[in-house]
Amino acid sequence: MNRQDLVQLIRERKSYLCIGLDTDIQKIPKHLLSHADPIFAFNKAIIDATKDLCVSYKINTAFYECQGIRGWESLQRTVEYIPDDIFTIADAKRGDIGNTSTYYAKTFFETYGFDSVTVAPYMGRDSVEPFLAFPGKWAIVLGLTSNEGSKDFQQTKIGERFLYEQVMQTTASWGSADNTMFVVGATQSAAVADIRKLLPDHFFLVPGVGAQGGSLKEISEKGLNKDVGLLVNASRAVIYAGNGEDFADDARKAAQAYQREMSQYLV
């Protein structure tokens, strides 16, 4: 999906909500366990209940890969089930020598048909560029992450600036705002205004609202740009909003609350 279509979808739905399908077999309602593919049965119900409220689904591959071949099958069924007009993210955090990155990119863009994949930029330019070589596809590069450990490397100073600022600015120069997004954690709202100044045009994928305690209001006030420029992810706070037979209704209510709040910030 290209930038123009994504921005149009956000405007139409008045939503920049990304729902994270971090589907944990231990956490899904017990009545689904008798299905042939319980993870897909859960995802299908969540997608049916929320697809008009969000603009993106993010599939964190860890929750699928840990199930071996069955997990990859659940992932494939899920990504194929997501409507074509919704932006899909493979949250796989890949990045390797160029030759290998090319095959990671093929895996997620061609074999599974995702619109985007999250990319760890630590190995540098030749590890990221292969993800930028696929027309209409996106690399979502780790910028300033939501976790405590972001202090260990990302928030160290290189001269006058933080390492994450240098990483984001340099990485941005390898592609464009039409094929590169950055992960900026919702728990890092104090830094978001400065990051927005550094990168006025890029989309940010913002995880960390809900279970990690980030504020949708703060991130929206500081991060929105003229083309919206934000995809805010919530995983556990939406998909595990309920745990009974009506879990999908509860997920819908949680997604609706985020969408309503977003619609206020979009005016």
Ligand X SMILES: O=C(O)c1cc(=O)[nH]c(=O)n1[C@@H]1O[C@H](COP(=O)(O)O)[C@@H](O)[C@H]1O
Catalytic residues: 93
233 near ligand X (CB under 6 A)? yes
Number of residues that bind ligand X (CB under 6 A): 20
208 near ligand X (CB under 6 A)? yes
The residue (of 135 and 142) whose beta carbon lies closer to ligand X is 142
Q: Dig out the tokens for 159 from the structure.
A: 């001269």
- Closest by Cα among 143, 147, 216 to 180: 143
Q: Are 186 and 208 in contact (CB under 8 A)?
A: yes
DSSP state of 97: S
Stretch that binds ligand X, among 31-39, 40-48, 144-152, 170-178 (CB under 6 A): 144-152
Strand 116-119 and strand 138-144: the pairing is: parallel
210 near ligand X (CB under 6 A)? yes
146 near ligand X (CB under 6 A)? yes
Q: Are 250 and 242 in contact (CB under 8 A)?
A: yes
The residue (of 120 and 267) whose beta carbon lies closer to ligand X is 120
Extended strands (E) in 82-189: 87-94, 116-119, 138-144, 157-158, 161-162, 180-184
Please work out, in degrees rounded to the nearest 5, the angle formed at the alpha carbon of residue 206 by the alpha carbons of 82 and 96.
Answer: 80
Stretch that binds ligand X, among 5-13, 122-130, 205-213, 246-254 (CB under 6 A): 205-213
b (16+ CB within 10 A) / e for 59-90: bbbebbeeeeeebeebbeebbeebeeebbbbb
Residues 30-49 contacting ligand X, CB under 6 A: none
236 near ligand X (CB under 6 A)? yes
Q: Considering only residues 19, 22, 43, 115, which one is a binding residue for ligand X as defined by CB under 6 A? A: 22
Q: Considering only residues 38, 95, 175, 207, which one is a binding residue for ligand X as defined by CB under 6 A? A: 207
71 near ligand X (CB under 6 A)? no
Q: In sequence order, what are the residues at sequence separation of 6 or more whose Cβ sits closer than 8 angstroms to the Cβ of residue 172? A: 180, 182, 199, 202
In the shown chain, the binding pattern of residues 148 to 187 toward ligand X, with x for contact by CB under 6 A and - for none, equals: -----------------------------------x-x--
212 near ligand X (CB under 6 A)? yes
Stretch that binds ligand X, among 108-116, 124-132, 154-162, 234-242 (CB under 6 A): 234-242
Q: At what angle do helices 38-50 and 247-265 cross, to 10 degrees?
A: 40
Q: Which residues of the shown chain bind ligand X in the complex (CB under 6 A)?
A: 20, 22, 60, 91, 118, 145-147, 183, 185, 207-208, 210-212, 233-237
